[in-house]
Amino acid sequence: EVQLLASGGGLVQPGGSLRLSCAASGFTFSNSPMSWVRQVPGKGLEWVSTITDSGASTYYADSVKGRFTISRDNPKNTLYLQMNNLRAEDTAIYYCARYYYVSGSSRYFDYWGQGTLVTASS
Amino acid sequence: DIQLTQSPSFLSASVGDRVTITCRASQGISSYLAWYQQKPGKAPKLLIYAASTLQSGIPSRFSGSGSGTQFTLTISSLQPEDFATYYCQQLHSDPITFGQGTRLEIK
């Protein structure tokens, strides 16, 4: 059974930092690109970041570029999101998701974690 | 960035109804479009990928069609468990974007 377990969310003051983790099991993590998606409670979905299977390439939404860093530890089957200089508008539920990607073919997010809430507020 | 516009944003329907949700892309995305269902307090769930391919385990009453800039999600006969919010997503080019969502409620 595939599981993605996100953790690390919490209350942080604006300007502060937080690191999210996503522990994966039930699939070959080291062969899978991974992404983070966030959602302000009651609002829509926003893609945040993607990392390739090896970790060699990373991609970010403009809204987080320069402040957030996505990384992974393949031997530990864990995905991370380091969030620095947090702003009130970063307050959201953060989901990790497996990005199924075959060049020239299908692409989609097939497995999602349960989400972890980040609140940036004083 | 590619913008996705869903219509309607809100839909009220009855059990047994046939409903269609439309997703329009601001530029061509071939068939790199996915549909997700989200229920309150839960993560999104993949329904359709490559515009028209049903994800494993998803009931056949769900179907998708389209390519280029116009896409549709159809539920042939609404069941009580289908009342949720639906999102389209384009994966043609970065940044990946989502539609604003369609909230489907019981009439």
What whole-number distance in Å separates Cα of residue B75 and Cα of residue B18? 6
Vertex B59 angle, CA B58 and B61, to 5° = 130
Strands of the B70-75 sheet, one edge to the other: B4-7, B19-25, B70-75, B62-67
Is A45 within 8 Å of A22 (Cβ atoms)?
A: no
CB contact under 8 A, A110 and B46: yes
The model's confidence at residue A105, banded by pLDDT at 50, 70 and 90, is confident
What whole-number distance in Å separates Cα of residue B7 and Cα of residue A117? 29
Q: Quick one: closest CA in B to A4, which residue?
A: B43
Which one-letter DSSP state was computed for residue A88?
G
CB contact under 8 A, B101 and A45: yes
pLDDT exceeds 90 at position A31: yes
Q: Tell me: the pLDDT tens digits for B53-74?
A: 999 999 999 999 999 999 999 9
What whole-number distance in Å separates Cα of residue A53 and Cα of residue A74? 8
Best to test chain B binding among A34, A109, A111, A117 (most B CBs inside 10 Å): A109
Ranges of H-type helices in chain B: none
